[in-house]
Structure 1
């Protein structure tokens, strides 16, 4: 029996508000998104294993939506610019509605790549 491969992340540039456990908030931007994974660029460094509330200001097919999730930092690497970090988050808790919105966005982006 062959294991189902996860979908590859797709490029996306949405604003993100991150809230740390101490309730400090800051703004970042998405670079890639997948079903249960988010890659962002931020001026703030986050510790691996830290739990973060993620609010994504998404736009797809004319629909604006606030996607809310709880994520865990998997990695945080200082970029060559020296002023921002590349952060990988796993999205642990996402509502079904928000998950379906992300899946629809990924499917639309994949179909665009096929038609190129």
Structure 2
């Protein structure tokens, strides 16, 4: 069970906060997309994503060479609502990251969802 200290401690880091809010607003993103959006290295991004995954905030899946992250659909309602409100209220704060992602060349193509 995810607790308030888990959530707030994990989101107290700017990289994890930005990654989580980008995923919350844009849906599933791969490590390379987050590297571009956050302008950071693969080891750093992966380490932060692993922390978010370890508390149950994110889920991952592998598709070929790519690892994609998404919000855990079983997050408690209070977490989902908090992320939604925070994302909407901070679009300007995330704009530089969204702009970088939109200008990314050769973004990976997601496979169609199964069944």
Please confirm whether the aligned pair reaches a TM-score higher than 0.5, indicating the same fold. no
More helix by share: 2
User: Which of these two proteins has the greater Rg computed from alpha carbons?
Assistant: 1
TM-score (normalised: structure 2): 0.31
Q: Which has the higher contact order (CA 8 A, sep 6+)?
A: 2
TM-score (norm 1): 0.31
Name the structure where strand makes up a greater proportion of residues.
Answer: 1
